[in-house]
Amino acid sequence: MKRHLYNDSQQTGFRKQLRSNPTLAEARLWYYLRRGQLGAKFRRQYGVGQYVLDFYSTEVRLAIEVDGDSHYSERGLASDMRRSEFLESVRIRVVRFTNQEVLEETTTVVEMIKGIIAKLKK
């Protein structure tokens, strides 16, 4: 069976589960990303290849990842590097924020995302 690059049907249940159980940081950021409020439409838990992105805008080809503590182990960092390399190979820009940044510096994170979107739209 051929796998699709975007939203592979084999991941549907997993993506749905992730959308139904967001972290507090993901839920907070989604409040600002939804309905194109920052200048681009985003989707939650969007599949690209074998990966599921926290947030993705097809319009500007921007992935936003919100990383918890597990991402900062040696194994997690290596996995994130492979993931980012793959996404960049299919022309998707990746921006990462920590849960702590999203929760404690929400305004700054939102403004950074707005600026990135504006640059990508030029």
**Domains of the chain by range and CATH?**
9-121 (3.40.960.10)
Give me the mean pLDDT over the 17-25 stretch.
88
Inter-residue contact 52 to 66 (CB < 8 Å) = no
pTM of the model: 0.86
Give me the mean pLDDT over the 7-30 stretch.
86
Interior angle at CA 64, CA 60 and CA 65, nearest 5: 160
- pLDDT score, position 73: 64
Inter-residue contact 65 to 95 (CB < 8 Å) = yes
CA distance 114 to 61: 14
β-strands 51-57, 62-67: how paired? antiparallel
Residue with the larger pLDDT of the pair 69 and 22? 22
- pLDDT score, position 32: 97
Give me the mean pLDDT over the 78-82 stretch.
88
- Check pLDDT > 70 for residue 72: no
- pLDDT score, position 13: 81
- Which H helix or E strand runs over 61? none
